[in-house]
Structure 1
């Protein structure tokens, strides 16, 4: 290759074209990285959610039919889909849907048994292949969630957070968390909230890629990792009760706050639907 050649001549060669493409990609990646937090994180979430919803839709239909047949035979759960109200960015509430994978079983004290004791064989399969979370892609598309972000939190648990812990609500909750790298079997809720606040304060394009790829690698290798540690089988209020951080009265108060907020949301939703029906009649 002649280094004294003109730019036009250089682009006419394979090496020149390759260099041009590499530079273009590097500039594009740099632009995305510099503007990731405020613009491109949401843009990429929308684009990839749309692509994944379309590409994996046939597999979703297969999983839906298989799960329906399994549930008809075993009567394992009331509904094929589980909907949970979660607190998202700016403490706004949204409803998150997933495939139902666990039975509702309680211990002698009325508490839910750990997930590993309630999950069904079909639920274990749906979780293993990632199809359990296919409905969550709709929440990503709608801007309620992100591919990478803090773990979604219930209304009752959100009511129990301190002002410092609420720093996690500066960003959208995610399908994948930074805890894929920084969590572990011994992770506690305070440690999770500390990492969530750290992630929210220092979002980065390359960091998100590393967290997502770590999760993907665990899936492909079939690793039985539990990045959420003690947070996997208990809610935050239950964890505080078990560790003696709060008493029964405080726990009941936090849960009541969550129920009151949920009741208010449901009433507002009913009023909105009633108004819309009257408007178009």
Structure 2
């Protein structure tokens, strides 16, 4: 049932939102140049790699040595708007349609984190990663990594259709009030370096 809902909702969403997606793609092209999409390999179900798509929110700007400048200097005002409204996440509906993601589940993080998880934290990969999730409506980037992973594992153990519906409705509310978009002193969140426990 969950997969059926994912297919129907993502397919319908891509169809209905196609004018918005096209408009955003053109604006990203104007403000950030090519490519319009930011694709990055992330771990999916059971840790299987897939390429997650998002709208680009940063410019390609480098220092004199050819190294990318910090995120805070590369993100544009339009990019910050995309992140604040979560519009940069809309291309992930394509990942949902393909079966690489679900509408609801733990957010797909970086491949390099896989070897840093405790066995309990790694359980977040027992389900497909989501466009939104339990951790996103309970703090997003404003909570610690340990708190985020506990919420992810709680979702794995308690997932249900009704919980997914609640998370989707709460996500819409969070987007409007723009809570937890970034951690203190960071554009999004500092990198996970492993748990101390």
Task: For residue 117 of structure 1, report the CA deviation from its aligned partner.
Answer: 5.1
Task: For residue 112 of structure 1, report the CA deviation from its aligned partner.
Answer: 6.7
Local SS of the residue matching 1:84: strand
Name the counterpart of 1:25: none
Residues 88/112 of structure 1: CA separation in 2 closer, same or farther (3 Å cut): farther
Q: TM-score, normalized by length of structure 2?
A: 0.84
Q: CA RMSD in A?
A: 2.8
Superimposed CA distance per residue, residues 216-246 of structure 1 (whole angstroms, 9 cap, x where no aligned partner): 01223xx231167579422212xx4xx9x49
Asked if residue 226 in structure 1 is aligned to residue 180 in structure 2, the reply is yes
Task: For residue 120 of structure 1, report the CA deviation from its aligned partner.
Answer: 0.8
Local SS of the residue matching 2:131: strand
Q: TM-score, normalized by length of structure 1?
A: 0.61
Asked if residue 71 in structure 1 is aligned to residue 27 in structure 2, the reply is no
- Contact kept, 8 Å, 2:45 with 2:126, in 1: the verdict is yes
Task: Identify which of 43, 65, 85 aligns with 2:4.
Answer: 43
Unaligned runs of 5+ in 2: none
- Contact kept, 8 Å, 1:187 with 1:228, in 2: the verdict is no
Task: Identify which of 6, 20, 24 aligns with 1:59.
Answer: 20
Aligned equivalents of 2:13, 2:108: Cα separation in 1 = 21
Name the counterpart of 1:15: none
Aligned equivalents of 1:54, 1:169: Cα separation in 2 = 29
Name the counterpart of 2:88: 132
Runs of 4+ in structure 1 deviating by more than 6 angstroms, as ranges, are none
Local SS of the residue matching 2:35: coil
Higher helix share: 1
Which deviates more, 170-179 or 224-233?
224-233
Unaligned runs of 5+ in 1: 1-39, 73-77, 247-281
- For the pair shown, which has the larger CA radius of gyration, 1 or 2? 1
Residues 82/90 of structure 1: CA separation in 2 closer, same or farther (3 Å cut): same
- Contact kept, 8 Å, 2:142 with 2:180, in 1: the verdict is no
* Residues 44-193 of structure 1 mapped to structure 2, 5 A cutoff: 44-72=5-33, 79-103=35-59, 113=70, 115=71, 118-183=74-139, 187-193=143-149
Aligned equivalents of 1:71, 1:181: Cα separation in 2 = 29
Higher relative contact order (CA 8 A, sep 6+): 2
